Structure 1
């Protein structure tokens, strides 16, 4: 009996995912799968899902074995009380590489002071030599798949890397901190801070006025994680005082970022339009197909979400 897989996402996602997903399912041993945007709920075995899908009530999906998220973030779905099926978040190798490249590029940009030479072509000869990477402390908040990959890239460039996660863990070459008690120590004296935490009630305003004050004066903030991780007003105050030299922000509390938001006009803020990392069809569909294979084989699903923690 063929599997029935509902693709519950917007039309543009279907247009780009349908063929790669069918190919990935065939490679995983499911050539006769029914993959559709429209299936009777009681006949659906798996849901490939984007949280902005019209599907918001999971009650009719009585046969569904798992909901497989297309996004890395799950904060828009974990609170749905009708969702009782296992939920897997997306950990996409292509997305991880994309994030690692983006963060490494902006870290080097700030470390080397590239903005000054790109924007100032006035004829002023000002030969200021940047420090070596080994003289910079980079703190990464969030040491999951993305944070660990970014850490390894920065370690290869000889940066001194600190990492913070809520639970204890070890990452080779990284000075690790954990729990609320370790957060301040991870930030104290950091030259560059990178935010890669999930958006949960516990992580909102992680970078507030008190913690921004712990950074080395003239530090840099890079946020490709989630907008609510930073207290916007506190960040602007830190930029205005010189405590933070520049902030590069890819995510915001409201997206697209409203035209009247002060970040747009602030000379020490770089706004990028949520482009640091995107799910890549070829690699993400293989992750989905592998989870379906696991479900059919009675093996544990990959990347299951802990509803209590929100990620």
Structure 2
């Protein structure tokens, strides 16, 4: 009996998300299984048992009557589960060490850039000014991590080992060694009041949409050597109220922001974020993961499932992550 086919459906504009390249990767790790790049490749819908996807066209997955599981190739599943025609099958998140490590690299790099005053130093270099400022210790800065899933826990642990005072916030209670943890709406106010650098790695759900807003920023601790709080968002663009971020940067409620994600991507040329002097931005590549490792992960999950063992990292659709 032939194995169920794997459909690859990808809507992406960057080289890393080239659909043809993804088909080649999956073909190399699924040697005895048909891999169909859709739309385009000839394949009977009833032969498709699995789908590897990134932002597929709404309704596309409903065409496969024998679909058994969907593998989301990025960390965020909000775009996928927003599809009201999505078949009632397990949705699997990518959760591999490579992705976690890359996100931690991004978070730590940007915390250090703000802590070590790199924007000021870069401007001084551009203006040929030799004017070093006093540099405070990491222990004088409180970093708060919103979202204590796999990504948030790893980033918080590394920041703690660097000497920062680290706390975490999540919707439900969590306990992490050496990390002060807060949860729910009751804990949010306490969490914000002791945070100088706010790192957001939350999933995007109806409860978290636009959670990064003026109300939250105004509750951050302002009594640190930074002078004003800093925002770092590498979660999802929909988490941030972008008008609030800009106005808070302009009036000093926020001192700076590092943003990897935006509500509209690619970021429009007319966006004020491009040229804002207090913003460091990147093109949603904080945790661009090794595609070869992702394809091998998906192939191993399918083999595990067909051997009668449960899938790992299945999305809880009621929570949205």
Q: Same fold (TM over 0.5)?
A: yes
Q: Is 1:153 the counterpart of 2:158 in the alignment?
A: yes
Q: 1:68 pairs with 58, 71, 74, which one?
A: 71
CA RMSD of aligned residues (A): 1.9
Contact 2:58 2:85 in 1 (8 A): no
Q: Residue 225 of structure 2 corresponds to which residue in structure 1? A: none
Match of 1:28 in 2: none
* Structure 2 counterparts to residues 181-260 of structure 1, below 5 A: 181-217=186-222, 218-260=228-270
d(CA) in 1 for partners of 2:283, 2:138: 28
Does 2:56 correspond to 1:46?
no
Q: Which residue of 2 aligns with 1:35?
A: 35
CA distance in 2, matches of 1:177, 1:184: 9
Selected match of 1:136 from 118, 134, 141 = 141
Q: CA deviation at 1:233?
A: 2.2
1:117–1:79 distance in 2 versus 1, CA, 3 Å: closer
> Which segments of 5 or more consecutive residues in structure 2 lack a partner in the other structure?
223-227
Match of 1:281 in 2: 291
Are positions 1:266 and 2:276 aligned together? yes
**Displacement of 1:54:** 4.3
Is the counterpart of residue 98 in structure 1 residue 108 in structure 2?
Answer: no
Could you say if the C-alpha distance between residues 224 and 162 of structure 1 is closer, same or farther in structure 2, counting changes exceeding 3 Å? same
Match of 1:118 among 112, 115, 122: 122
Is 1:166 aligned with 2:171? Answer: yes
Q: Does structure 2 conserve the Cα–Cα contact (< 8 Å) formed by 1:99 and 1:277?
A: yes
CA contact (8 A) 1:216 1:243 kept: no
TM-fit CA distance, 1:230: 1.9
- In structure 1, runs of 5+ residues without a counterpart are 26-30
Structure-2 separation of matches of 1:23 and 1:160: 45
| Residue aligning to 2:91 | 87
Which residue number in structure 2 is paired with residue 108 of structure 1? 112
Q: TM-score, normalised by structure 2?
A: 0.88
SS of residue paired to 1:193: strand
Q: What's the CA shift for 1:55?
A: 6.7
Other structure's SS at 1:140 match: strand
Please name the residue that 2:7 is paired with.
6
Q: Distance in 2 between matches of 1:55 and 1:35?
A: 21
RCO comparison, higher one (Cα < 8 Å, 6+): 1
**Aligned-pair CA distance for 1:139:** 0.4
